[in-house]
Amino acid sequence: MIVAMNRKQIEDRERRNVAVHEAGHLAILKRFGGQGQAAIWPNESVSEDERSWLGNCAIHIEPGSTEAKAIRALRAKQGLTAPAEDDTTDWKFYVGLAGEAATCMIEAECNEDAVYDIIDTFDEPQYVSASDMEWIGSAEAVTLTVAERMVAMLREEWTSVTEEAKRLVEYWVDE
């Protein structure tokens, strides 16, 4: 069933999706041992062809860097949990993919369709942001196995994703 949405409902949905997208990037960045900050803001453009909300995930500490290794050692010394991923080889790829994947998951209500929605998204990569594609490298790299791993990682981090997305959305609701 198709439900008609008014402009405010569309903007609210876009704000939520952008918040989840950026929160997905941040959660996977942290999973690999990096540090960063997500932000969203209203698009000031007057064009109705553009999204009404924009976002960014700024990376402050890259996984595998000297700083990240020092933080990991300090956390271990303090008895805190270490990042889930020890191998940081593919971190850029997965951080880049995480935004679209998290958006697909929220749209698919986190069910198994999310894996196929991710594959479909990368069948038409012109809808994926240039910055995300820069990290991913190639749409052809997004295979079924990769999409399944990405969904599994995001499910493990879903509380972090939803809490960060809520924080991002609430900032603008309270504004």
Per-residue pLDDT tens listing for the chain (175 residues) = 566 777 788 888 899 999 999 999 999 999 999 999 999 999 988 677 778 899 999 999 999 999 998 888 888 888 877 677 777 889 999 999 999 999 999 987 666 788 999 999 998 888 899 999 999 999 999 999 999 999 999 999 999 999 999 999 998 775 5
Per-domain residue ranges of the chain? 7-174
Residues 6+ positions from 65 with CB-CB distance below 8 Å = 34
Q: Are the C-beta atoms of residues 84 and 31 closer than 8 Å to each other?
A: yes
Q: Are the C-beta atoms of residues 98 and 63 closer than 8 Å to each other?
A: no
Residues 6+ positions from 153 with CB-CB distance below 8 Å = 28, 31, 84, 94, 98
Helices of type H across 45-112: 66-77, 91-107
Q: What is the pLDDT of residue 112?
A: 72
Residues pairing with 165 in the sheet: none
